[in-house]
């Protein structure tokens, strides 16, 4: 099966030059840090282009809408890339929608997801031109119907269901199992369908949505998801006489954070999904399928790297050696949040044979601010640069200003050129929302 970018630890263009210095997108990483500062997020255009192209090829004979899950990494530049590549967006907040809107994104090509959309967000989404909602719960259905009635419009909806499928990933990134905070349980589907049919006349029920979880390495779960969705569609047709044609099978494809990870090729997922669609649509008599997918992590994860500068180090007597870098949990919360593992390398190749066991920690005031635990690493000195791979998804998008540290810049590289897509935060921006009330003056 053709290898796809998500099966690499490193961005596709990442290599060492003749001096052993790491380059990406034709740019020397140490030069990028000199120019744009440290820490630095770098995205490789070629890797993103390669994986979206593979998605398109893997599903080329299917009526499929590919929607990039913006939660993985959202900026105006990524909206431009996705629009250019023919991908839509899966958004979950008015902030994500606004970013897309202001970037000039085609808002008709967005699905609005989320388990607790506020009334204001629903209104904004409609005003900005969103035409497809994935309705997550009873309150949202009622609110959305009320707003659409006021506006005298009918909106297309999918029902997010919890398909009761457990995938083998971290508990915090499983979403399709029973007892999930997301979506309608299968026993609640009849009630919501009846409400839409009989009461919520401004909702146009088009189909069903399920998302199983993230960082999935199996393919069988996609077959199971398609089966549950189409079987549910048959049941709805038999019980309520409503024919559903649109099915959103979510995202979830895994990436290779370390050599131990074995993510599958996008083509393998394509085969399983296409076979399942053919089989179950035939078996359950569901016709004219329109399919949506919402990959996030695998579109941008491998493309992104974070470069840090080494600062202090500490050898605990008879214990660990800690190397501290100038970033950490505020630019990458994943190790602290769910023990995510990473691959890191020195940017310059010096001393590569002289290794020691170290724990690479961040600069933030939490003992859990550990980026990489007990790893064999070349001996470092202050000012050495360390590159963490696979930080393109759920790092910048989950970043914070913890300890009032400024957020790093984000740079896009392509063919030897590097351009800023998010400027490094400034102190002015840091305090821009602070106010000192009169009572304190
Ligand atoms: C509804 C939905 N769709 C898509 C995604 C994207 O998942 P991934 O980044 O694993 O592809 C998520 C992530 O949590 C999600 O909740």
- Predicted local distance difference test score (pLDDT) of residue 416: 98
Q: How far is the CA of 114 from the centre of ligand 1 (A)?
A: 10
**Ligand 1 atom index nearest CA of 295:** 11
Please indicate whether residue 136, judged by its CB atom, sits closer than 6 Å to ligand 1: no
Please indicate whether residue 114, judged by its CB atom, sits closer than 6 Å to ligand 1: no
14 and 146 belong to one structural domain? no
316 and 284 belong to one structural domain? no
Contact 210, 161 (CB under 8 A): yes
Domain end position, chosen among 300, 334, 349: 300
Under-50 pLDDT residues of the chain: none
* Alpha-carbon torsion (4, 5, 6, 9), positive or negative: positive
- Considering the candidates 79, 148, 167, 365, report the single residue annotated as catalytic: 365
Q: E-strand spans in 50-116?
A: 64-69, 88-91, 110-112
- Best substitution site from 160, 214, 295, 297 to test ligand 1's pocket, by max atoms within 8 Å of Cβ? 214
Q: How far is the CA of 355 from the centre of ligand 1 (A)?
A: 38
337 and 295 belong to one structural domain? no
Domain end position, chosen among 275, 300, 325: 300
The answer to whether residue 377 sits within a structural domain is yes
Q: How does pLDDT run across 325-348, given as a tens digit for each residue?
A: 999 999 999 999 999 999 999 999
Please indicate whether residue 210, judged by its CB atom, sits closer than 6 Å to ligand 1: no
Q: How far is the CA of 225 from the centre of ligand 1 (A)?
A: 14
How many other CB atoms are there within 10 angstroms of residue 284's CB atom? 17
- State how many domains the chain has: 2
**Ligand 1 atom index nearest CA of 113:** 1
236 and 335 belong to one structural domain? no
Please indicate whether residue 250, judged by its CB atom, sits closer than 6 Å to ligand 1: yes
The answer to whether residue 118 sits within a structural domain is yes
The answer to whether residue 53 sits within a structural domain is no
The answer to whether residue 101 sits within a structural domain is yes
- Predicted local distance difference test score (pLDDT) of residue 147: 98
Instruction: Find residue 291's DSSP bridge partners.
Output: 64, 247
183 and 285 belong to one structural domain? yes
Kindly report the CATH number assigned to the domain that includes residue 9.
2.40.37.10
| C-alpha to C-alpha distance for 175 and 190, rounded to whole angstroms | 21
Q: How far is the CA of 210 from the centre of ligand 1 (A)?
A: 10
The answer to whether residue 49 sits within a structural domain is no
In degrees and rounded to multiples of 5, residue 331 shows phi and psi of -105, -15
The answer to whether residue 126 sits within a structural domain is yes
Nearest residue (CA) to ligand 1, atom 12 = 251
**Ligand 1 atom index nearest CA of 251:** 11
Please indicate whether residue 252, judged by its CB atom, sits closer than 6 Å to ligand 1: yes
Please indicate whether residue 296, judged by its CB atom, sits closer than 6 Å to ligand 1: yes
166 and 273 belong to one structural domain? yes
Give which of 340, 291, 392 is closest to 45, Cα–Cα: 392
Kindly report the CATH number assigned to the domain that includes residue 129.
3.20.20.10
- Best substitution site from 4, 65, 68, 69 to test ligand 1's pocket, by max atoms within 8 Å of Cβ? 69
| C-alpha to C-alpha distance for 378 and 357, rounded to whole angstroms | 9
293 and 339 belong to one structural domain? no
- Predicted local distance difference test score (pLDDT) of residue 1: 82
Contact 262, 209 (CB under 8 A): no
**Long-range residue pairs from 94-97, CB within 8 A, at least 24 positions apart, any chain:** 94/120, 94/121, 94/124, 94/125, 96/70, 96/71, 97/121, 97/124, 97/125, 97/128, 97/130
The answer to whether residue 426 sits within a structural domain is yes
Domain end position, chosen among 282, 300, 318: 300
Please indicate whether residue 408, judged by its CB atom, sits closer than 6 Å to ligand 1: no
Nearest residue (CA) to ligand 1, atom 5 = 251
Is there a catalytic annotation at residue 365? Answer: yes
Please indicate whether residue 289, judged by its CB atom, sits closer than 6 Å to ligand 1: no
Nearest residue (CA) to ligand 1, atom 16 = 211
Q: How far is the CA of 272 from the centre of ligand 1 (A)?
A: 19
130 and 187 belong to one structural domain? yes
Stated pTM of the model: 0.96
- Predicted local distance difference test score (pLDDT) of residue 172: 62
The answer to whether residue 441 sits within a structural domain is no
Q: How does pLDDT run across 150-204, given as a tens digit for each residue?
A: 999 999 999 999 988 876 666 665 666 667 888 999 999 999 999 999 999 999 9
206 and 64 belong to one structural domain? yes
Please indicate whether residue 255, judged by its CB atom, sits closer than 6 Å to ligand 1: no
Please indicate whether residue 174, judged by its CB atom, sits closer than 6 Å to ligand 1: no
29 and 117 belong to one structural domain? no
176 and 113 belong to one structural domain? yes
354 CB-side CA count, 13 A: 6
88 and 236 belong to one structural domain? yes
Provide the residue range defining the domain that includes 423. 5-43+303-431
């Amino acid at each position: 099966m053709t290898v796809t970018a998500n099966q690499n630890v490193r961005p596709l263009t990442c290599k060492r030059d003749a001096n052993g210095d790491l380059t990406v997108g034709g740019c020397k990483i140490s030069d990028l840090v000199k120019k744009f500062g440290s820490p630095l997020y770098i995205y490789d255009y070629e890797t993103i282009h390669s994986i979206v192209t593979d998605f398109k090829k893997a599903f080329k004979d299917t009526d499929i809408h590919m929607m990039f899950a913006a939660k993985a990494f959202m900026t105006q530049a990524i909206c431009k890339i996705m629009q250019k590549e023919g991908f839509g967006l899966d958004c979950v907040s008015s902030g994500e929608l606004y970013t897309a809107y202001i970037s000039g994104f085609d808002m008709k090509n967005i699905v609005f997801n989320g388990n607790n959309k506020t009334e204001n967000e629903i209104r904004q989404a409609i005003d900005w031109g969103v035409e497809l909602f994935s309705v997550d719960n009873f309150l949202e259905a009622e609110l959305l119907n009320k707003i659409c009635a006021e506006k005298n419009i009918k909106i297309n909806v999918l029902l997010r269901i919890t398909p009761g499928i457990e995938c083998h990933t971290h508990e915090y990134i499983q979403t399709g199992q029973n007892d999930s905070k997301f979506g309608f349980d299968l026993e609640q589907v009849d009630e919501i369908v009846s409400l839409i049919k009989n009461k919520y006349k401004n909702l146009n029920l088009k189909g069903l949505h399920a998302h199983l979880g993230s960082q999935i390495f199996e393919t069988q779960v996609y077959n199971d998801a398609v089966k549950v969705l189409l079987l549910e569609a048959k049941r709805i047709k038999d019980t309520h006489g409503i024919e559903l044609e649109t099915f959103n099978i979510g995202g979830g494809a895994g990436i290779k954070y370390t050599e131990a990870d074995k993510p599958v090729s996008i083509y393998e997922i394509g085969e399983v999904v296409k076979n399942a669609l053919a089989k179950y649509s035939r078996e359950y008599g569901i016709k004219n399928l329109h399919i949506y997918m919402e990959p996030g992590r695998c579109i941008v994860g491998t493309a992104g790297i974070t470069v840090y500068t080494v600062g202090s180090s500490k050898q605990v007597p008879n214990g660990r050696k800690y190397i501290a870098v100038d970033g950490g949990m505020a630019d990458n919360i994943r190790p602290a949040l769910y023990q995510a593992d990473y691959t890191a390398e020195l940017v310059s190749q010096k001393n590569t044979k002289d290794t020691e066991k170290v724990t690479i920690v961040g600069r933030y005031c939490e003992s859990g601010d550990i980026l990489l635990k007990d790893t064999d690493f070349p001996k470092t000195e202050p000012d050495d640069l360390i590159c963490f791979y696979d930080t393109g998804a759920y790092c910048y998008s989950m970043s914070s200003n913890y300890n009032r540290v400024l957020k790093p810049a984000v740079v896009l590289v392509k063919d030897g050129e590097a351009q800023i897509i998010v400027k490094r935060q400034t102190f002015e921006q840091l305090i821009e929302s602070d106010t000192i009330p009169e009572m304190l003056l």
